[in-house]
Amino acid sequence: MSTTFTIDTATSRATPTPAPMKRLTIPAVRARKGGEPLVMLTAYTVRMAQLLDPHCDLLLVGDSLGQVIYGLPSTVPVSLEMMCAHGAAVVRGSYHAAVVVDMPFGSYEGSKEQAFASAARIMKETGAAAVKLEGGEAMAETIAFLSARGIPVMAHVGLTPQAVNVLGGYGARGRSEAEEKKLIGDAKAVADAGSFAIVVEGVIESIADAITDAVACPTIGIGASARCDGQVLVTEDMLGLFERTPRFVKRYAAMADLVSDAAVAYAGEVRARSFPTADQTYRRAAAGPTAKTG
């Protein structure tokens, strides 16, 4: 059984209600190679998962929550505990999309055994369908180890934010012939190791196209190419909740302005003592509709 949610009108809070399993499976995701593009967005909370789930094939509980939710300078400080807590919330708030949880920096690089222990904890505590880890050829053996033990793995090549200190920033990858060769080699290595999909982030468009053509599993682009088998964005960037977003992000809304305008209106009513109280609202509801005259 999966879990979906209804709204309790007495409290206006989400309450869990069992629903038959309807989630997109990992084999079904893999089978979308070359077919209908995969839609993927990030989610970190129950409510956002509820809103996005009907429209997405995959929900990514990204370690980008370090910056988006916690105001950290990068994804590096994010802990396994954070990922488990937010991953469980997103699973509770969804029923259709396959939920993928990022493995945070330091939770999988030490050894295959460390990676399995971390991934197993994520799967047990969240109920997610898969984990995602960053890295190319160096992580291929780990991906094979996890996949052989029942843990589906989404790989991540190109601009890998956890390695920002080594990369020297968030610039696009693949500007040299040597880097192009390495990126394609990394993608082939993780695909051959058993990854069911690969996030391709921040690489030159022609290289993203070459990677998509070279691997048998779906590629999911972010600042890469429209020819990838799917796309992912940080939801808060897409919604325009931040003043500054990556150059490749299209803003589909201006939510920061809506929130600010609503807060301004609320603050004005509070200071003017003109906002309705619960007692006034109750009395109006009890009185019923205003009678028409004339």
> Which residues form the catalytic set?
201
The span from the CA of 212 to the CA of 136, in Å, is 15
Is 33 within 8 Å of 216 (Cβ atoms)? Answer: yes
Residues with Cβ < 8 Å from 197, sequence gap 6 or more? Answer: 29, 30, 38, 154, 155, 217, 218, 219, 220, 229, 230
Contacts of 166 (CB under 8 A, 6+ apart): none
What are the residues whose beta carbons fall under 8 Å from the beta carbon of 195, sequence distance 6 or more? 143, 147, 153, 154, 155, 217
Q: Which residues of 172-190 are buried (b: 16+ CB within 10 A; e: fewer)?
A: bbbeeeeebebbbebbbbb
Amino acid (one-letter) located at 12? S
Closest to 52 measured CA to CA, from 233, 235, 191, 232: 235
Rounded CA-CA distance 278/24 in Å is 43
Q: Dihedral (C-alpha) 51, 23, 214, 212: value to the nearest 10 degrees?
A: -20
Contacts of 215 (CB under 8 A, 6+ apart): 187, 188, 191, 198
219 beta partners:
198
User: For 53, what's the count of Cα atoms within 13 Å in the CB-facing half-sphere?
Assistant: 27
